[in-house]
Chains A and B, each alone.
Chain A
Amino acid sequence: MENLFEINNLNVDFKTPRGRVHALRDVSFKAPRGKIIGVVGESGSGKSTVIWAMTQLLARNGVVEGGEILFNGKNLLEFSERELQAFRGEEASIVFQDPMTSQIPVRSYSQQMVDIAYRNKGKTKADKIKRAIDMMRRVGIPDPEQRIVQYPHQFSGGMRQRAGIAMALLMNPLLLIGDELTTALDVTMEAQIIHLLRELQQEIKATVMIVSHNLGLIAELCDRVVVMYAGEVIEQGDVRQIFNNAQHPYTQALLECDPARVLERSRFLPTIPGDLPDLHVWPTGCIYAPRCKHATRRCEQERPTSFDIDPGHEACCHLLDPDHDSNDEAASVERLQSKTSGYDETATVEIQYEGDPLLKVEHLQVRFRTMGALKAKLKGIADPFVDAVLDVSLRLWRGETLGLVGESGSGKTTLGRAILGLVRVHQGSVVFDGKVLTDLPEAALRNLRQNMAMMFQDPVGSLSPRQTVRSLITEPFDLHRKGTYSTEDEARRLCDMVNLPHNFLSRYPHELSGGQARRVGVARALALEPSMIIADEPTAGLDVSIQGEVLNLMRDLQGRQGLAYLIITHNLPVVRHICDRLAIMYLGRIVEQGEGEAIFNNPAHPYTEALVHGVPQPDPDKRRELVSIEGEVPSLINRPAGCEFHPRCKYVQGRCRTERPDERQLSDGRVVQCHYPLIN
């Protein structure tokens, strides 16, 4: 048999109190043996449901309504409980997104791995541990003999995910499933994991199924790609067929939206207008028709069947039907198109570089206590603090967008919060609009907060859960301009500003999608027309098609109100399109700062270079051969001597190990902390 597994016409429903949700409809695809197959889709596409159906671990309200899953020729859906245990224990294994919740915190890795090998009845415990150590070594964990007795919390994020892969491969499974396995990792770690998986797959010849929303990961890793939308497979084919010759309008739009594929720097990013359809009703026509640019009346009435484009490449779309009349009257689409094209794409913002900057941060230092004063005395530790932000100086002018980029743990969020006075500053000063914030008492600062707003990472989690959208977006008025406004008028004005329908005003945060909640966050931040907004990962947790929408909105409002943005992110492709200047942070310091496009094209600091090259390219023809950066971000408690980046730097020289580089200015005005910058 050439296919390890085959899914044929799989239908899965979820029973909810509001009726059945048709989560998977006629899903069919095949996984050729020994290949890496990628299932890609946005949230709500049903890609995870496929995994749960395959392993028969659907939530209790999930029902398989029809279809078959053939694994090695046998239908998994007819397996007895005993056969399923054998299947899950030996033949298939899963690596999850978050190793912290999928690994048992109270058992050491050796215990967990012996547990996993419970089906090897003939082997002794010593054999099992020996095999576990071999596996840990194979996935690149240093000193596996010592580390295997440690617990998950003693491993760093990247190492934990490596251990997860080791555990998954322990039983030599025929099928390895990765569910968003790099989503929780930084770009540099992601690149290492991609590299590792590719190597391992060559070695062990297992079939790998990668489920992800990350087009870059799919392009770098997979041989075959299955594109899902709203519970249906809409296109599948070889990775090059999909990425270079996409046929389904959704696949095309999805690829267009990915900021990493937009090569020209563009202020406005493409988006897919509209929302996911309601899956309570069985769709009559093409599931994508309501959002499709090319939809005709036939698309709304008749479900398309699959058409072969090339051998192995098929897509479900009426446009591929030779008999299709594409001039047939297009229906409801126009409304959608007009909604998003309202932005003035040519509007440019005048950045006023003369005079004083809006925000001036000088030698800012933020430290956190690691232990109580008494305990530190007893242990003889003179300085029981870690420096999360160290000697940071920044300028932000009116109308400008500054991107603050770094891996997790680089202190970028702390810096953002310190600027707003939400964390205590140890040293240095923050001057905003001529006022020294770091000297102000809390009450005075509270009053100033109407001029500077913050957008938080989690779009839904940053909204108070028991408040309606109406009271959330008018809250800034309630706090700062009590009695001088009309709640209803302001709520409507803000809704219009962020393109939120008025009937959303009485909803609660958990009833909003990520994109809608993000728009509420933008409305709250902009309610009092501040002059500066600090946006912490404004696109985190949003689908590619929504990302652009939020960024375009922010850009549009900047043009109209002359806002200054400080955007904190680890997402380099996005930052590139929206930022005028960039500041790269590593271990609480800014290692490179300067004009955005220049930094992107010619990084001066080796760390910047590693970050820029670390982004997986959503193009299978541009696969990287080498990992751009080794190792992980060191702990803040043990800062390396000399240049703090030297243990990971590939250009390291003797001087870097002993002497900390000072800031130096390059010919194009960039400021870099490096002894040997890559350009002059």
Chain B
Amino acid sequence: MSEGKEKLMLFLSNGLGMFGLLLVILFFVSAIFAPVFATHDPFLLDIPQRMSGPTADHWLGTDQLGRDTYSRVLYGGRVALKVAAIGVSISLFVGLMLGMLAGFGPRWLDNLLLMLFDTIRSFPTIVLALAAVSLLGPSLELILTIVIVTSIPGYARLARTSTMALKGTEFIVAEQSLGAHPMKIIWRHIMPNVIGPLLILAAMDVPVVVTVEAGLSFLGLGVQPPTSSWGTILNEGYLLIRDTPWPIIAGGIPLVLTTLGFTFLGEALRDVFDPRLRKGR
């Protein structure tokens, strides 16, 4: 299809977008193949070498227990990836379904769902997380749940408005006139047309989710030691800041790169697929 090719060319010629894609690939590869790239066991203590700077043996130095920071950063990426991939995809899916239902369904359902979305959105994520953790105790699953619940309304609202815009169009009325079941219309004719902007939103949402996890872990409410996460590495590094800056640097850089990568990628995708931003008549 020539138009697809055109869009691919447009994307490939977007420098920042390609840079973002590169960073995103790096993030995925480093997390998935962490055991291959890691030089040490992330839990292995090397007390004599504790709090060292970068050396030939420990590329990014060690922490207060002498654990290899480079390996811990790689393994920490796995936590970030897990939260991002599971959290974003589940909330995207649920948000899409609820949003299309609200947009296409009867008025009362729309009002009910909207009220639900607004209620959830009115809680600040971190405060909600703090409350939940103090009630139920810290765990990765809880973080995931909170991430999913709080980001569903964003997707749902976007899906709802796009669905409502489509609802009155002739091709949807045409499907009704053919006798298509409403569920079939939603699945086959509405979803392909609303999912595009949602995927772009999801790409831009990944860094938010990653930082929420890192933030909660930093506060000691997320991933528990000895499991490493970028947040816990930062937290431990914060306590050692007077002795060695390396854990902070090593934990901060992947966070910055991941955020940049997904943001650039998301913006490039939006530029390519959103015709309103296209130049010319």
Residue B227 lies at the interface, judged by CB distance under 8 Å to chain A: no
Knowing A17-B6, A60-B280, A467-B189 are in contact, say whether A462-B171 is a contact too (CB < 8 A): yes
Please determine whether A456 and B170 come into contact, CB atoms closer than 8 angstroms: yes
Identify the closest chain B residue to A458 (Cβ).
Answer: B170
Please determine whether B281 and A59 come into contact, CB atoms closer than 8 angstroms: yes
Please determine whether B279 and A60 come into contact, CB atoms closer than 8 angstroms: yes
Residue A123 lies at the interface, judged by CB distance under 8 Å to chain B: no
Residue B106 lies at the interface, judged by CB distance under 8 Å to chain A: no
Please determine whether B177 and A420 come into contact, CB atoms closer than 8 angstroms: yes
Residue A408 lies at the interface, judged by CB distance under 8 Å to chain B: no
Q: How far is the CB of A462 from chain B (nearest CB, A)?
A: 4
Chain B 5-56 interface residues, beta-carbon cutoff 8 Å to A: 6, 9
Identify the closest chain A residue to B195 (Cβ).
Answer: A466
Q: How far is the CB of B209 from chain A (nearest CB, A)?
A: 28
- Of B59-67, B178-186, B217-225, B231-239, which stretch is located at the interface? B178-186
Q: How far is the CB of A346 from chain B (nearest CB, A)?
A: 33
Please determine whether B193 and A465 come into contact, CB atoms closer than 8 angstroms: yes
Residue A492 lies at the interface, judged by CB distance under 8 Å to chain B: no
Please determine whether A466 and B174 come into contact, CB atoms closer than 8 angstroms: no
- Say which residue of B2, B180, B192 sits within 8 Å of A466 (CB atoms): B192
| Interface residues on chain A, size class | 20 to 34
Contacts of B1 in A (CB 8 A): 508
Please determine whether B170 and A524 come into contact, CB atoms closer than 8 angstroms: no
Residue positions of A touching B, CB distance < 8 A: 17-18, 59-61, 417, 420, 422, 445-450, 453-454, 456-458, 461-467, 475-476, 479-480, 508, 510-511, 524
Please determine whether B179 and A461 come into contact, CB atoms closer than 8 angstroms: no
Residue interface bits B132-167, CB-to-A below 8 A is 1, else 0: 000000000000000000000000000000000000
Please determine whether B178 and A59 come into contact, CB atoms closer than 8 angstroms: no
Contacts of B193 in A (CB 8 A): 465-466
Please determine whether B174 and A449 come into contact, CB atoms closer than 8 angstroms: no
Residue positions of B touching A, CB distance < 8 A: 1-3, 6, 9, 169-171, 173-181, 184, 188-189, 192-193, 279-281
Chain B interface secondary structure, helix, strand, loop or mixed? Answer: helix
Please determine whether B179 and A456 come into contact, CB atoms closer than 8 angstroms: no
Q: How far is the CB of A30 from chain B (nearest CB, A)?
A: 27
Please determine whether B173 and A456 come into contact, CB atoms closer than 8 angstroms: yes
- Say which residue of A453, A458, A480 sits within 8 Å of B177 (CB atoms): A453
Measured CA separation A479–B173 after assembly (Å): 15
Please determine whether A479 and B174 come into contact, CB atoms closer than 8 angstroms: no
Q: List 16 A-B contacts (CB under 8 A).
A: A17-B6, A17-B9, A446-B179, A462-B171, A462-B174, A464-B188, A464-B189, A465-B171, A465-B193, A466-B192, A467-B189, A475-B178, A476-B178, A480-B179, A524-B174, A524-B178
Measured CA separation A511–B279 after assembly (Å): 20
Please determine whether B175 and A464 come into contact, CB atoms closer than 8 angstroms: yes
Identify the closest chain A residue to B175 (Cβ).
Answer: A464
Q: How far is the CB of A238 from chain B (nearest CB, A)?
A: 33
Number of A-B contacts (CB under 8 A): 72
Contacts of A461 in B (CB 8 A): 169-171
Knowing A456-B170, A462-B170 are in contact, say whether A422-B177 is a contact too (CB < 8 A): yes
Contacts of A422 in B (CB 8 A): 173, 176-177
Q: How far is the CB of B172 from chain A (nearest CB, A)?
A: 8
Q: How far is the CB of A535 from chain B (nearest CB, A)?
A: 12
Contacts of A458 in B (CB 8 A): 170
Contacts of B181 in A (CB 8 A): 446, 479
Measured CA separation A446–B1 after assembly (Å): 35
Contacts of A454 in B (CB 8 A): 174, 177
Q: How far is the CB of B199 from chain A (nearest CB, A)?
A: 14
Please determine whether B170 and A457 come into contact, CB atoms closer than 8 angstroms: yes
Please determine whether B178 and A479 come into contact, CB atoms closer than 8 angstroms: yes
Identify the closest chain A residue to B180 (Cβ).
Answer: A479
Q: Across chains A and B, which 4 residue pairs bring their CB atoms closest together, nearest first?
A: A449-B179, A59-B281, A466-B192, A462-B170
Contacts of A475 in B (CB 8 A): 175, 178, 180
Chain A CB within 10 A, most for which of B3, B9, B170, B193: B170
Please determine whether B174 and A463 come into contact, CB atoms closer than 8 angstroms: yes
Contacts of A457 in B (CB 8 A): 170
Identify the closest chain B residue to A455 (Cβ).
Answer: B174
Measured CA separation A447–B181 after assembly (Å): 10
Given contacts A422-B173, A449-B177, A463-B171, 20 further A-B contacts (CB under 8 A): A59-B280, A60-B279, A60-B281, A417-B173, A417-B177, A422-B176, A445-B179, A449-B179, A454-B177, A456-B173, A462-B173, A462-B174, A463-B174, A464-B174, A464-B189, A466-B192, A466-B193, A479-B178, A480-B179, A524-B174
Contacts of A448 in B (CB 8 A): 179
Identify the closest chain A residue to B5 (Cβ).
Answer: A17
Identify the closest chain B residue to A521 (Cβ).
Answer: B174
Contacts of B6 in A (CB 8 A): 17-18
Identify the closest chain B residue to A450 (Cβ).
Answer: B179
Q: How far is the CB of A74 from chain B (nearest CB, A)?
A: 26
- Say which residue of B169, B170, B179 sits within 8 Å of A479 (CB atoms): B179
Contacts of B189 in A (CB 8 A): 464, 466-467
Contacts of B178 in A (CB 8 A): 449, 453, 475-476, 479, 524
Measured CA separation A448–B281 after assembly (Å): 44
Measured CA separation A175–B184 after assembly (Å): 54
Knowing A447-B179, A449-B178, A466-B193 are in contact, say whether A18-B2 is a contact too (CB < 8 A): yes
Identify the closest chain B residue to A449 (Cβ).
Answer: B179
Contacts of B192 in A (CB 8 A): 466
Identify the closest chain A residue to B170 (Cβ).
Answer: A462
Contacts of A462 in B (CB 8 A): 170-171, 173-174
Measured CA separation A508–B193 after assembly (Å): 13
Measured CA separation A60–B180 after assembly (Å): 42
Identify the closest chain B residue to A509 (Cβ).
Answer: B171
Q: How far is the CB of A44 from chain B (nearest CB, A)?
A: 15
Identify the closest chain B residue to A16 (Cβ).
Answer: B6
Identify the closest chain B residue to A465 (Cβ).
Answer: B193
Measured CA separation A476–B175 after assembly (Å): 9
Identify the closest chain B residue to A58 (Cβ).
Answer: B281
Contacts of B175 in A (CB 8 A): 464, 475
Contacts of A449 in B (CB 8 A): 177-179
Measured CA separation A32–B93 after assembly (Å): 64
Measured CA separation A450–B169 after assembly (Å): 21
Contacts of A447 in B (CB 8 A): 179
Q: How far is the CB of B192 from chain A (nearest CB, A)?
A: 4
Chain A CB within 10 A, most for which of B169, B171, B188: B171
Measured CA separation A18–B9 after assembly (Å): 12
Identify the closest chain A residue to B190 (Cβ).
Answer: A464
Contacts of B177 in A (CB 8 A): 417, 420, 422, 449, 453-454
Identify the closest chain B residue to A448 (Cβ).
Answer: B179
Please determine whether A464 and B179 come into contact, CB atoms closer than 8 angstroms: no
Q: How far is the CB of A217 from chain B (nearest CB, A)?
A: 24
Contacts of A467 in B (CB 8 A): 188-189
Measured CA separation A456–B280 after assembly (Å): 30
Contacts of A511 in B (CB 8 A): 3
Q: How far is the CB of B12 from chain A (nearest CB, A)?
A: 12
Q: How far is the CB of B246 from chain A (nearest CB, A)?
A: 48
Identify the closest chain B residue to A417 (Cβ).
Answer: B173
Identify the closest chain B residue to A416 (Cβ).
Answer: B177
Measured CA separation A447–B173 after assembly (Å): 16
Measured CA separation A465–B9 after assembly (Å): 22
Q: How far is the CB of A461 from chain B (nearest CB, A)?
A: 5
Q: How far is the CB of B11 from chain A (nearest CB, A)?
A: 13
Contacts of A510 in B (CB 8 A): 3
Chain A CB within 10 A, most for which of B3, B174, B189, B193: B174
Q: How far is the CB of B133 from chain A (nearest CB, A)?
A: 43
Knowing A446-B179, A465-B193, A479-B180 are in contact, say whether A61-B280 is a contact too (CB < 8 A): yes
Contacts of A476 in B (CB 8 A): 178
Measured CA separation A508–B171 after assembly (Å): 14
Contacts of A60 in B (CB 8 A): 279-281
Measured CA separation A605–B281 after assembly (Å): 45
Measured CA separation A458–B279 after assembly (Å): 26
Contacts of B184 in A (CB 8 A): 479
Identify the closest chain B residue to A506 (Cβ).
Answer: B1
Measured CA separation A461–B165 after assembly (Å): 13
